[in-house]
């Protein structure tokens, strides 16, 4: 692949994940407004629960989407699958911005909203792993980690953009205007972003690595092959992805709520610290990918980060409880620096773990079961642990435990960061 094509591939992988996670996260940020528009009732709490239930339905569809898109990517090719996945996110988001509300069409409004979220959830199940696999397979051998890291950079940027656009609309427009039509603007903007991603992906060159190995593959289901011939790799990928999901959701999603509940810090202040740390993460992710390419083998780099995480998890939470804002800043930024290591280096590591014939099926299913199911349940598990143990620091023990699991998996996993892709 020529240099210009490589740059186009990087941009297409980046913007596709921006669209996916902007659109998917935006629903969460706008849930309070959507509750009254699509699930009106006398009980605002019940309406909000129903709205979050629809949000959860999107996550529930991720494992199914991972199987469908994994199979597609291993049979029709990576670039075609990437185009389908981004279309299945962008077009429903545009449709969501145009949906009539309960006041206009009654019960059909929440029904249509559920259908939109189901399609989006299917798409999220395939987009990330498809784009990572394509980016790594089409990269120069010495830049696979850096190339794969741009999918996570796009995901994080999309989440920040979703939060920023939602905040802008709800701040600039009067509340009555937001309820009347302003809520549609962020979703329509997502449709514009999605159109740009579709245009970029329409003419992506195919992965030569996939084409070469696809001609040699036997007429066997790639999903079946992942669960049989490559069962060991599936178990390793699933265990690491589960730990990876907890490591992601605890510092970036759960921690602001913990600070608010356990230390009394205003939630707005905790969220500002979280946003600044996430912005730092955007810079550190590609740096981590580069280090895995040039300085440290990927599994060694991640192992070292997990060892540090195990060591500092409990002391950091103690500091968090005592030292107010500066303690929160220090702890949040420390956790983000450690989290940047797997976020930057793990995408290429997953791709290097599986052979080309069932790579996307194995990666996609393991990643989405681990990150989507186990990771998605992390805030609930952390809250339950505090309740069950009576210890505010219980999530720190959880963090240390899953870091130990990740470390054990890294020690058992062969490192392919300097070898040709299988």
Q: What is the structure's pLDDT at 50?
A: 66
> For residues 147 and 139, is the Cβ–Cβ distance under 8 A?
yes
CATH number for the domain running over 3-214: 1.20.1250.20
Q: Determine the pLDDT at residue 266.
A: 81
> Which residues make Cβ contacts (< 8 Å) with residue 392, sequence separation at least 6?
258, 262, 317, 321, 386
Residue for token pair 């009067």 = 174
Give the C-alpha separation, 329 to 334, whole Å.
8
Nearest Cα neighbor of 84 from 422, 360, 369 is 360
Domain limits, CATH 1.20.1250.20, in the chain: 3-214, 222-412
Q: What 8-state DSSP symbol labels residue 107?
A: T
Phi, psi at residue 105, to the nearest 5°?
-125, 10
Tell me what pLDDT residue 96 has.
Answer: 87
| pLDDT at 287 (0 to 100) | 96
What is the C-alpha to C-alpha distance for residues 312 and 396, in angstroms, rounded to an integer?
9
Q: Spell out, as residue ranges, where the chain has pLDDT lower than 70.
A: 1-6, 24, 28, 42-59, 207, 209-219
User: CA angle, corner 334, sides to 331 and 335, nearest 5?
Assistant: 85
Q: What is the predicted pLDDT for the residue at 2? A: 54
CA distance 403 to 395: 12
Question: In the prediction, which pLDDT does 236 show?
Answer: 94
**Residue 56: predicted pLDDT:** 63
Alpha-carbon gap, residue 369 to 238, rounded angstroms: 7
Q: Which ranges constitute the DSSP H helices of 215-323?
A: 222-227, 231-249, 255-258, 267-294, 298-322
Q: Which fold has domain 222-412?
A: Growth Hormone; Chain: A; (1.20.1250)
For residues 389-401, one letter each, b for 16 or more C-beta atoms within 10 angstroms of the residue's C-beta and e for the rest, the string is eeebbbbbebbbe
């Amino acid at each position: 692949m020529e240099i210009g094509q490589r740059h186009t591939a990087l941009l297409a992988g980046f913007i596709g994940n921006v669209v996916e996670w902007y659109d998917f996260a935006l629903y969460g940020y706008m849930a309070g407004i959507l509750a009254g528009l699509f699930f009106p009732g006398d009980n605002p709490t019940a309406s909000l629960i129903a709205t979050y239930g629809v949000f959860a339905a999107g996550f529930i569809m991720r494992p199914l989407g991972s199987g469908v898109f994994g199979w597609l990517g291993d049979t029709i090719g990576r670039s075609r699958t990437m185009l389908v996945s981004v279309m299945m996110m962008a077009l429903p988001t545009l449709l969501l911005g145009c949906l009539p509300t309960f006041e206009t069409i009654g019960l059909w409004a929440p029904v249509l909203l559920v259908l939109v979220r189901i399609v989006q959830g299917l798409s999220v199940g395939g987009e990330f792993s498809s784009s990572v696999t394509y980016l790594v397979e089409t990269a120069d051998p010495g830049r696979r980690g850096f190339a794969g890291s741009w999918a996570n950079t796009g995901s994080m940027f999309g989440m920040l953009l979703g939060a920023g656009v939602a905040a802008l609309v709800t701040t600039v427009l009067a509340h009555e205007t937001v309820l009347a039509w302003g809520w549609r603007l962020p979703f329509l903007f997502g449709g514009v972003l999605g159109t740009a991603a579709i245009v970029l992906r329409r003419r992506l060159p195919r992965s030569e690595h996939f084409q070469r190995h696809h001609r040699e593959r036997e007429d066997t289901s790639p999903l079946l092959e992942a669960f049989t011939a490559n069962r060991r790799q599936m178990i390793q990928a699933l265990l690491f992805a589960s730990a990876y999901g907890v490591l992601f959701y605890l510092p970036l999603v759960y921690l602001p709520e913990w600070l608010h509940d356990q230390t009394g810090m205003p939630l707005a202040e905790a969220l500002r610290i979280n946003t600044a740390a996430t912005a730092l993460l955007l810079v550190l992710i590609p740096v981590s990918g580069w280090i895995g390419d040039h300085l440290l083998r990927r599994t060694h780099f991640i192992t070292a980060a997990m060892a540090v995480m195990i060591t500092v998890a409990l002391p950091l939470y103690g500091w968090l409880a005592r030292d107010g804002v500066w303690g929160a800043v220090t702890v949040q930024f420390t956790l983000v620096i450690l989290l940047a290591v797997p976020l930057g280096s793990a995408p290429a590591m997953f791709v290097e773990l599986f052979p080309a014939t069932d790579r996307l099926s194995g990666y996609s299913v393991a990643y989405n079961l681990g990150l989507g199911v186990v990771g998605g349940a992390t805030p609930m598990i952390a809250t339950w642990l505090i309740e069950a143990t009576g210890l505010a620091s219980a999530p720190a023990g959880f963090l240390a435990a899953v870091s130990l699991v990740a470390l054990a998996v890294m020690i058992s996993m062969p490192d392919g960061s300097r070898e040709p892709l299988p």
